Amino acid sequence: MPAFWTESDFDDHEAVQVVRHRASGLTAIFAIHSTHLGPAAGGTRFWHYPDPALAMRDALRLSRGMSYKNAMADLPMGGGKAVILADETRTKTPAMLDAFGDAIEALGGRYVTAEDVGISEADMVAVARRTSYVSGLPTHGSPGGSAGGDPGPFTAMGIYHGIKAAVRHKLGRDSMAGVHVAVQGTGSVGGGVARLLARDGARLTLADIHHDRAAALAAELGATQVAADDVLDTRCDVFSPNALGAILDDSGVGRIEAPIVAGGANNQLARPEHGAALAARGILYAPDYVINAGGIISVTLEYLARCQGSHCDVDEVNRRLKQIPERLAEIWRQSESSGVSPDAVADRMAQAKIGR
């Protein structure tokens, strides 16, 4: 693995740590991008990387994205990310989660984690036995109006609000009825987005590398299913990427057959220049870390409430989710007035908030 500070995605990170616990088999990367606004907050990703350098790249990009996401959501948290390098069989053991929790505890509160790809609510419960710097925990025994637990549904709700804002801004339509949305990824977030859109009468095309999962959801919602490799070529009103990132590269940008890109995947743009490439094609882009902030809003408010010995109010979470369209609209207004692509406008706004 090359020195992390030579990586193109190293962005003056405050700390990058590789933890190896031989007895449990844990190998993890902690990337703390900024603590300017508060403790670095960001989920833990459990994923198999064929090359460890790809894991480092992911950690660096995701942690920077969390700094921007938390800042743009007006949360008193900095940005960080943890990546656990899974083996090919994605073996996850209690001992590994214990060692991971101990590593978080050793950071002394500088980093707070929650669920991300490959990590469940049950995994967070296990990690919480070793450290208190965890959120996304179940709300059993809490008042009915409390938020907490799996952040996926809140992420999906924020994306849903953002898609509606994009359709209103680009297409001039206040209703999603009949709007054709191609959803890439039908897991917790993408599936949640699809269900919310279906409720509003949107026409859906679904795709997932897990064919059976997409097929089951398509049958449930009366949607069309296409192969995972073909979804970018689907002619539609909105392309909504909700799987892994970096899909908008030279090829991906050229293949899109939609006037809007709005979805929850992190780091959708393979490189910064791809945001300008989307704009050059007249495609409206919803910056990922703005539209997908619902989950971190939920887990941050849950964590802060627990630190104060109280419960997170779901009404407050929902109030903040409804601010996502307002932020997107302001980004698009500034983009149109300045000629700068929406991703670059959002980056500048976020950097100003974190003092960079």
Query: Does residue 303 lie in a domain region?
Result: no
Q: Which residues are catalytic?
A: 81
Query: Does residue 283 lie in a domain region?
Result: yes
The 10s digit of each residue's pLDDT in 262-309 is 999 989 999 989 999 999 999 999 999 999 999 999 999 999 988 887
Residue type, position 217, single letter:
L
Query: Does residue 33 lie in a domain region?
Result: yes
- CATH code, domain carrying 260: 3.40.50.720
* 72 CB-side CA count, 13 A: 32
Query: Does residue 245 lie in a domain region?
Result: yes
Task: Give the mean pLDDT of 69-82.
Answer: 97
Q: Which helix (H) or strand (E) holds 54?
A: helix 52-72
The Cα 21–Cα 27 span in angstroms is: 7
Query: Does residue 346 lie in a domain region?
Result: yes
The 10s digit of each residue's pLDDT in 232-260 is 999 999 999 999 778 999 999 999 999 99
Query: Does residue 69 lie in a domain region?
Result: no
The 10s digit of each residue's pLDDT in 59-75 is 999 999 999 999 999 99
The Cα 18–Cα 87 span in angstroms is: 16
Q: What is the pLDDT of residue 46?
A: 97
In Å, how far from its chain's centre is CA 175? Answer: 25
Task: Give the mean pLDDT of 158-176.
Answer: 98
The Cα 113–Cα 104 span in angstroms is: 8
Q: What is the pLDDT of residue 142?
A: 44
Query: Does residue 25 lie in a domain region?
Result: yes
Same domain, 234 and 347: yes
Q: Is the pLDDT of residue 170 over 70?
A: yes
Question: 266 in helix, strand or coil?
Answer: coil
Output the average pLDDT for the chain.
93
**pLDDT-derived band at 356, boundaries 50, 70, 90:** confident
> 157 lies in which domain range?
152-291+325-353
Query: Does residue 147 lie in a domain region?
Result: no
Task: Give the mean pLDDT of 16-45.
Answer: 97
Output phi, psi for 83, to 5 deg: -125, 120
End-to-end CA, the chain:
28
